Amino acid sequence: MYRTILVPLDGTAFAERALPYAEALARASRARLLLVRAVEVPAAASARASADVDAAVRAAETHLGESAARLSESYPVETAIFLGDAAGAVLKETRLRKTDLVILAKPAIAGDAARSSVCEQVIRQAGVPVLVVHAGCEQQAWRCEQPRRVLIPLDRSHRARAALDPARQLAEALDAELVLLHVIERRERASGAAVPEAAARCGGRLGDALGYVEEIAGALRAAGWRAAARAACGDPPMEIAAVARELCATAVALTTRGGDARGRGVVGRVVERVLECVQVPVMLAPPNPAA
C-alpha cells in the first residue's frame, strides 16, 4: 500500500485533474497526500521582484489551502511551497518525503510545451512510479462500473517487467485484476492482396505470445493475485489502447524506455504514443538498474 502520494500543482484547473485520482488512491491506501507547488524567483533581485515573489507565495498558500480543504478528511493532507523551478521542487520533495507515488497531470506537448517539459523531467528523474493523468483522461476518477483492471504490456524484455511491482501496488490499492498483454508488432507494410498473408503470419505467432504472458500470469495467480493474459497483433500503442478500451481498464502500467548515464528513466516513443491513445491514467515505472 502507498504511504505518501505527491501531487504537483501550479494553480491551474488542468493540474488539478490529478486530484480525483490521488484522492481515490489516498483513501484506499490511507496514505498521506502531499500537495506541492513551486514559486519561481526572478533572476534579477529588486524590491519589486521581492514583492512579486511574496505575493506569489501568498497566492500559492491560499490555493493549496483551498485545494486541501476540498479533499476528504479520511487521510492526512499536507502542503509545501518551494522557491525555484517546478521540476526541481517536485524532485526534491519526492526524495525528502520518501514518496511512494507521484500523480501529475500532463498536457499534450503541442498544447503546453513548458508544462509538458516539467512533467517529463519529473518522470525521468523521480526514481519512483509516476501516475500520469493526461489530457485524454476523464476528469472524474475511474467511473467505469466494470471490475477494475490494470493493463500491463510486456515485450519479453527485463526492462518491461519493471512495471510489474508498481502495477501490483496499484492493483492492491484499488482491488484490481492484473491483465498482462503481449503485442506482436506487425512490421510489414501490407496492402491489397498482401494483407491476409501478413495477418496470417502475425496471427500464427499469437499462441506463443499468449503462452509467454500466461506463464507470468500463472505465477502471479499462484502468489495470490488475480491475473489474466492477453495477446494481440498490430501496432503496439494502438493495440494497447484497444485492449484498454475493451477491458475498461483502470490504468495502463509501463516502464520508461531505459536509463541515461545516471540510471534515470527516458520516456520512449511508444510510451508517448500510448499517452496519446489511451483514455485512462498511465503508470510509468522507472527502469530496473539491472535490466
The grid cell for 254 is 509501463
| CB proximity list for 187: less than 8 A, separation 6 or greater | none
Side by side, the strands of the sheet bearing 282-285 are 77-83, 32-39, 4-8, 101-106, 130-134, 282-285, 251-255, 149-153, 177-185, 227-234
- Cα–Cα distance, 70 to 85 (Å, whole number): 26
Work out the mean pLDDT of the chain and round it to a whole number. 86
Q: Specify the amino acid at residue 243.
A: V
The CA distance from 195 to 37, in Å, is: 52
Least confident of 104-108, 110-114, 211-215, 270-274: 110-114
Alpha helices (runs of H) in 30-85, residue ranges in sequence order: 47-69
CATH fold label, 149-285: Rossmann fold (3.40.50)
pTM of the model: 0.87
Q: Looking at residue 1, what is its pLDDT?
A: 84
The DSSP code for 200 is H
**In the predicted model, is pLDDT for residue 55 greater than 80?**
yes
Percent of the chain scored above 90 by pLDDT?
Answer: 57
Report domain extents, the chain: 4-134, 149-285
Q: Looking at the domain covering 4-134, what would its CATH class be?
A: alpha beta
Measured in degrees and rounded to the nearest 5, phi and psi for residue 216 equal -70, -40
Asked if pLDDT for residue 193 goes beyond 50, the answer is: no
Domains 4-134 and 149-285 share a fold: yes
